[in-house]
Chain A
Amino acid sequence: MADKVVLLDDYVSMFGMRARVALAEKGVEYEYREESLQAGKSPLLLQMNPVHKQVPVLIHNGNPISESLIIVEYIDEVWKDKCPDLLPAHPYQRAHARFWADFVDRKVYDAGRRLSGTKVEEQESGKKDFIAALKLLEGELGDNPYFGGENFGFLDVALIPFYTWFPAFETCGNFSTEEHCPKLISWARRCMERESVSKSLADPKKVYDFVLFLKKKYGGQ
């Protein structure tokens, strides 16, 4: 029986991009359905993710899976016969990848949100924390081509969507990520050479437009 895979997503969502990259890496065909913030939440989204009412939601043969990192692990487990493995085989390396992916959610996302948000008092600390978090990640990368070592893996999938948000963050915070974290930018460019990544990630210009839209909608400067 053929799999029916639907992804409820928002084009600019870095969390949605994670699911797109994972599906592309595994060569899984799916139906993409846009749920943009501007259009409001569809009845299908509210039905499939009643708890958080957020994208992305992967619907596999009618079964909904929510939360982007959980979706990526699900994709890796279901399509495990399709190369590559996103999570490494060794439990310690798996734990390492999960720890740092969670760090991206807790520290990178939160700092990025603050530095590009409308609360002036949070912007400076957001910028400082954002750069500090990226520096820690750059340290973890070391001299490897990818966070997965020789292979593009789970932590690469978790972080690479944020690269499309860097220009927006840099403009808001008036700084250059490349100046602070040159190795990380090299890593990002290397990831962008993969078709699964370049075809899945949003256009940074559209991301920036979205950030401006949010600023206008939610007030502030």
Chain B
Amino acid sequence: MGSEEEVKVIGSCVSPFAVRTMIAFNIKCVEYKLIEENIFNKSALLLKSNPIYKKIPVLIHGQRPICESLVILQYIDEVWASGPPILPSDPYGRAIARFWAAYIDDKFFAAQYAILKAGGEEGQKAAAVEEATQILVLLEDAFTKCSKGRKFFGGDRIGYVDIALGSFLAWIRVIQKMCGVSLLDECKTPMLFQWAQHFCADAAVQDVLPETDELLEFAQLFVANLGKPTG
């Protein structure tokens, strides 16, 4: 069908959404060319490939652009179906995985953003951290049900929900360091705390999540630019 066509990803390791795409390709052992994008100075290629949202990641397979990280994950799973699966094979398992990934994008991303936006406003920051913590507590419960005693949401191997949440781990560490808060807490969410260690140690993830100090530098620039249009 086209699994042998050229594969390019417009993205950057600083974007958890782009990281999802890279992890998925690593799981499938598919080579891709990373076209590094500077989100503060968007390229003509990005604007042409994703005119609706003008955001990374964009997967360009052959000549075809595919946008939105969760749409991309499902596309990768379907095109390279002979590789290890990302979504479960049964419809109910797939619906549950899609539900939690959508929840993570809807709630957790917004909660992290709120912590960054709160800046020095202690009251606002505390409220945003509490919100994020409650979301993680709910995800801890989801993890217990999905993993059924195994290492990942996807079971013995990393799956769709692992990628959706795990892609945020570098940012979680950075927010903890930058804002002096605890998000992924060993006492409050012990299963997720352990899951995070397994996730980061996985071969498909190791070279993709940025180091904390490397991302910290970008995060400071990102926070300084919050509220300003990025083109």
Interface segment out of the listed B12-20, B67-75, B213-221: B67-75
**Interface size class, chain A:** 20 to 34
- Mostly, the B contact residues are helix
Q: Which of A27-35, A88-96, A118-126, A170-178 contacts B (4 or more CB under 8 A)?
A: A88-96
| Residue B94 interfacial (CB < 8 Å) | yes
Chain B residues with Cβ under 8 A from A13's Cβ? none
What does the 1/0 interface line of A173-202 toward B look like (CB < 8 Å)? 000000000000000000000000000000
CA distance A74 to B98 in the complex (A): 10
Complexed CA–CA distance, A136 and B72 (Å): 21
Q: Which of B66, B67, B99, B138 contacts A92 (CB 8 A)?
A: B66
A92, B102: Cβ atoms under 8 Å? no
Is the pair B91, A99 in contact by a Cβ cutoff of 8 Å?
no
Q: Which residues of A contact B95 (CB under 8 A)?
A: 65, 70-71, 73-74
A interface, over-half SS: helix
Residues in A whose Cβ lies below 8 Å from that of B67: 99
A47-69 contacts to B (CB < 8 Å): 51, 60, 63, 65-67
Closest to B62 in A: A92
13 A–B contacts from the bound complex (CB under 8 Å): A65-B99, A67-B102, A70-B95, A71-B95, A74-B92, A91-B1, A91-B75, A91-B79, A92-B61, A92-B64, A94-B74, A98-B74, A99-B68
Point out residues on A near B: beta carbons under 8 Å: 51, 60, 63, 65-67, 70-71, 73-74, 77-78, 91-92, 94-95, 98-99, 102-103, 136
